[in-house]
């Protein structure tokens, strides 16, 4: 998967979350909401990396670490401003 495909997939998932949040909560997440979620994911990722290094006990192992890395990558993609190509 190249970067354009990854971005397209991330934006598709973002749209699905918007629909689910609108249906269940009557509103979609703002950029601030996504940023706060990202910060929580970074905290979880930190704990999982520490567990991987043996400095902390944390359930989930390698699968949880991979999942959290994917969550963080997704957040970075959707929070990033659109890339402009060319001059």
Instruction: Give the dihedral sign, CA 63/65/47/5.
Output: negative
Fold (topology level) of 3-79: Helix Hairpins (1.10.287)
Per-residue confidence in pLDDT tens, the chain, 87 aa? 888 899 999 999 999 999 999 999 999 999 999 999 999 999 999 999 999 999 998 888 899 999 999 999 999 999 998 766 655
Domain map of the chain by residue range? 3-79
17-54: b or e for each residue (b if 16 or more CB lie within 10 Å)?
eeeeeeeeeeeebeeeebeeebeebeebbebbeebeee
């Amino acid at each position: 998967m190249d970067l354009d495909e990854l971005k397209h997939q991330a934006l598709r998932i973002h749209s699905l979350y918007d629909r689910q949040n609108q249906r269940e909560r009557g509103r979609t997440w703002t950029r601030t909401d996504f940023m706060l979620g990202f910060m929580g994911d970074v905290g979880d990722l930190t704990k999982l990396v520490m567990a991987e290094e043996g400095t902390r006990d944390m359930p989930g192992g390698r699968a949880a670490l991979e999942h959290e890395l994917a969550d963080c990558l997704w957040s970075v993609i959707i929070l990033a401003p659109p890339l402009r190509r060319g001059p």
